[in-house]
Amino acid sequence: MIFPRLRNAIAFGGDYNPEQWPESVWQEDVRLMREAGVNLVTVGVFSWARLQPSEKRFEFGWLDRVLDLLAANQIGVCLATATASPPPWLTARYPEVLPVTADGVRLQVGARQNYSPSSRVYRKFASALVTKMARRYARHPALVTWHINNEYACHVPECHGPDSTRAFRAWLKKKYGSLAALNNAWGTAFWSQGYGQWEEIFTPSRAPYHSNPTQCLDFKRFTNDAFLELYDLELAILRRATPDIPVTTNFMGFFKALDYRSWSSRLDYVSWDSYPDPSDESAARRAAAAGHDLMRSLKPDRPFVLMEQAASAVNWRPVNMPKRPGVMRLQSLQAVARGGDGVMFFQWRASRAGAEKYHSGMLQHVAAEDSRVFAEVKALGSELKKLGVVTGSLVRNRVAIAFDWHAWWAVELESKPGRIDYAAWAQQLHAWFYAQNLGVDFVHPSADLSRYELVVAPALYLLNEKDGGNLQSFVERGGTLLATYFSGVVDEMEHAVCGGYPAYLRQALGLWVEEWVPYPEGRSNRFRFGRARADHRCDHWCDLVHLDGAQALAVFTGDYFAGRPAATRHHYGKGAAYYLATRPDAAGLDVLLSQVIKEVRLAPPLRVPAGVEVTVREAADAQFLFLLNHTNEPAKIALGLTRGHDLITGRLLSGTVQLPPCDVQVMRLPLK
Ligand code: GAL
């Protein structure tokens, strides 16, 4: 159970910013929260200026009243530490707190997140504020969980100011110990970059030409660590005051700047913010599913919390479509279906002023009783109450995608043969499994892979010997690996591995790659499987492969390398390793992946019509089968031998059931 104080209820509520409203509105807020079944609200995220209006003055009275009011109404609080946006007095007095971009521009006060992660002054003031909050609210009956800061690095993914430069040097000294080691790792013999003093080193800001790639990669690692230090600083304070209150910070899914995997052990549970674009519903459900899977995989043995989503439209895309009726519910239950124990929103009441006034809220600008969105919120709240029994149950998958933030950072640095969108490629492969209702986790290549049958490694460009060894021994012991083009090209220093790529996977794959042909937009090639009559289109990238034991499943049919392998398979130990040397069209990918899952004998929990999502959550004494109809047509679902009660309607479901458009069924199944 992630929230002992909510007992077995799914967390339901949203960001609550009462400081934006007169106190007379608060009474109405809690009345409507109760009406909607809200049991948790996130308070204080952007309230630093209200809590500390000047350097020496703190004003907690209003927050005391908010928390007391919520407690009196049995509404729990996810208490934010308010450090996400330093108040204007702080940055006016200590401008060194402000972050500096790679171009040397100091980002001014007036929006939010205006601090450098390495600012000593910011750290001092943030610690003082958090210490006061922790002491004051440690025993407050409304306190359910702590919410540290907010979406770290979202707007300021890096800083090049003086504090950052100083901290970067200290980080490098600690990592390398000597300049000789640093010069070696950074390959500074190239272009006369050898460093003789630590003070000669700067963050990789604007330079005349490509900056040193290892320096850039280290800067990304350093920046991740700098943000993590901020989190740790607050965490230590909270732990001292409230060792039993769970702590989180809200992640952002496929967010490049932070290696969330390095954070996950410090969070009591993973929470994240999901904002798929309603203008393309099928892309939205794929994106949300991949996000839930990535986030859940960071702590696979605990449910996660959807900390923020929009009740309808957001305000920050060029065009912001609302969610049409039913979609908010469907997406909320999708989060639960994929392992979520909380369905939260940004925000409770849509703001009247400021940059987010056109962002939907659970309460819109119109009266609650006149609001379509609020009616849907209320309906969802009452349904979630019936789903409390699923809390604590887990999603268990047999397929994993190897996904590594360091590989992501490295492959997208400049000066590469072509452009690879690492996360998009991983999500494209995920989408195939999603469409088949085959559950997927995301793992680090060094992870214990014993629970998986199949591991897919998309463009795992940076791969060290140890992690390559881990993937190879997974195959040796009977697993199936599918690696794709541009994998295993560099080690962790971003130095090319000589002697044929993908260096540390060569044995398992039974091949080596000599060179590659990246294509510009609009250029493509074709490839053909075995004796198939039709061929398939491929684009973006072609690896020129030499077989060394593997068998070609498909070959390119065009360009100067026609006849060379486009997809291969190799027996290795007790397992098999596939290689995909290009980016195929949908049909070509389908041929290959269908063969792979047939060999691995993977099947979805239930065969359903396209557009219906099926997942299973497992508890000690039951299984929960989720069926979500994402289409605009009713779906006929043959349950076969599966029978069980729908937790939402209470009906016993068996035989063939009709699932209306946008509708969801959650069946409790007895354990087999
Ligand atoms: C999130 C943020 C919220 C709000 C929301 C709007 O990124 O945490 O404070 O700005 O976006 O969609």
Q: For residue 308, report the distance from its CA to the centre of ligand 1, in Å.
A: 8
Q: For residue 27, report the distance from its CA to the centre of ligand 1, in Å.
A: 25
**412 in the same domain as 275:** no
Edge-first strand listing for the sheet containing 76-80: 247-248, 143-147, 76-80, 40-43, 11-16, 340-345, 304-308, 271-273, 250-251
Final residue belonging to a domain, choices 339, 357, 390: 390
- Partnered with residue 613 across adjacent β-strands are 628
Give the closest residue to 406 by CA, choosing from 361, 480, 462.
462
Confidence bin at 672 (pLDDT 50/70/90): low
Give the distance from CA 575 to its chain's centroid.
30
**499 in the same domain as 541:** yes
Give the closest residue to 205 by CA, choosing from 104, 320, 303.
104
Tell me the two tokens of residue 282. Answer: 């099928």
State the Cα torsion 238-244-250-251 to the nearest 10°.
110
State the Cα torsion 287-290-250-109 to the nearest 10°.
-40
> Is 665 inside any structural domain?
yes
Distinct helix (H) and strand (E) counts, the chain: 17, 27
Final residue belonging to a domain, choices 550, 580, 600: 600
> Is 621 inside any structural domain?
yes
Q: Is 433 in the pocket of ligand 1 (CB under 6 A)?
A: no
Confidence bin at 111 (pLDDT 50/70/90): very high
Q: For residue 255, report the distance from its CA to the centre of ligand 1, in Å.
A: 14
**70 in the same domain as 103:** yes
157 CB neighbour count, 10 Å cutoff: 17
Q: Is 308 in the pocket of ligand 1 (CB under 6 A)?
A: yes
**563 in the same domain as 645:** no
**548 in the same domain as 416:** yes
Atom of ligand 1 minimally distant from the CA of 46 = 9
Tell me the two tokens of residue 72. Answer: 């009196």
Final residue belonging to a domain, choices 573, 600, 627: 600
**Which amino acid makes up residue 280?**
D
Separation between Cα atoms, residue 464 and residue 446, nearest integer Å: 10
Helical segments of 485-627, H only: 506-509, 586-600
**150 in the same domain as 23:** yes
Supply the range of the domain harboring residue 436.
399-600
> Is 207 inside any structural domain?
no
Confidence bin at 1 (pLDDT 50/70/90): confident
**644 in the same domain as 549:** no
pLDDT in tens, 593-613: 999 999 999 999 999 999 999
State the Cα torsion 645-646-650-654 to the nearest 10°.
-50
Give the CATH number for residue 370.
3.20.20.80
**625 in the same domain as 575:** no
> Is 125 inside any structural domain?
yes
Q: What is the DSSP string of 261-303?
A: HHHGGG-SS-EEE----TTSHHHHHHHHHHHHHHHHHHSTTS-
Give the CATH number for residue 461.
3.40.50.880
Tell me the two tokens of residue 341. Answer: 């124990």
H or E element at residue 454: strand 454-457
Separation between Cα atoms, residue 581 and residue 181, nearest integer Å: 35
Tell me whether residue 414 is one of the annotated catalytic residues: no
Q: Would you state the pLDDT for residue 8?
A: 93
**513 in the same domain as 595:** yes
> Is 202 inside any structural domain?
no
Q: Is 494 in the pocket of ligand 1 (CB under 6 A)?
A: no
Give the closest residue to 145 by CA, choosing from 320, 342, 295, 420.
342
Q: Is 90 in the pocket of ligand 1 (CB under 6 A)?
A: no
Give the CATH number for residue 637.
2.60.40.1180
**407 in the same domain as 456:** yes
Q: For residue 346, report the distance from its CA to the centre of ligand 1, in Å.
A: 6
Total domains, the chain = 3
Q: Is the dihedral of CA 55, 58, 59, 60 positive or negative?
A: positive
Residue with tokens 């020129």: 544
Q: What is the mean pLDDT of residues 196-210?
A: 97
**325 in the same domain as 294:** yes
Q: Is 613 in the pocket of ligand 1 (CB under 6 A)?
A: no
Q: What is the mean pLDDT of residues 46-68?
A: 98
> Is 169 inside any structural domain?
no
> Is 151 inside any structural domain?
yes
Separation between Cα atoms, residue 501 and residue 505, nearest integer Å: 8
pLDDT in tens, 8-51: 999 999 999 999 999 999 999 999 999 999 999 999 999 999 99
Catalytic residue among 158, 234, 281, 308: 308
Separation between Cα atoms, residue 126 and residue 120, nearest integer Å: 10
Q: For residue 407, report the distance from its CA to the centre of ligand 1, in Å.
A: 28
Tell me the two tokens of residue 236. Answer: 């230590």
pLDDT in tens, 126-175: 999 999 999 999 999 999 999 999 999 999 999 999 999 999 999 999 99
> Is 458 inside any structural domain?
yes
Tell me whether residue 308 is one of the annotated catalytic residues: yes
141 CB neighbour count, 10 Å cutoff: 14
Report the nearest-CA residue for atom 5 of ligand 1. Answer: 346
pLDDT in tens, 349-403: 999 999 999 999 999 999 999 999 999 999 999 999 999 999 999 999 999 999 9
pLDDT in tens, 292-342: 999 999 999 999 999 999 999 999 999 999 999 999 999 999 999 999 999
In 58-194, DSSP assigns E strands to 76-80, 143-147
Largest CA distance in the chain: 78
Report the nearest-CA residue for atom 4 of ligand 1. Answer: 346
Q: Would you state the pLDDT for residue 371?
A: 98
Q: For residue 152, report the distance from its CA to the centre of ligand 1, in Å.
A: 11
Q: Would you state the pLDDT for residue 670?
A: 83
Tell me the two tokens of residue 433. Answer: 């499994």
Of 16, 17, 308, which is best to mutate to test ligand 1, by the most ligand atoms within 8 angstroms of its C-beta?
A: 308
**477 in the same domain as 406:** yes
| pTM, full prediction | 0.98
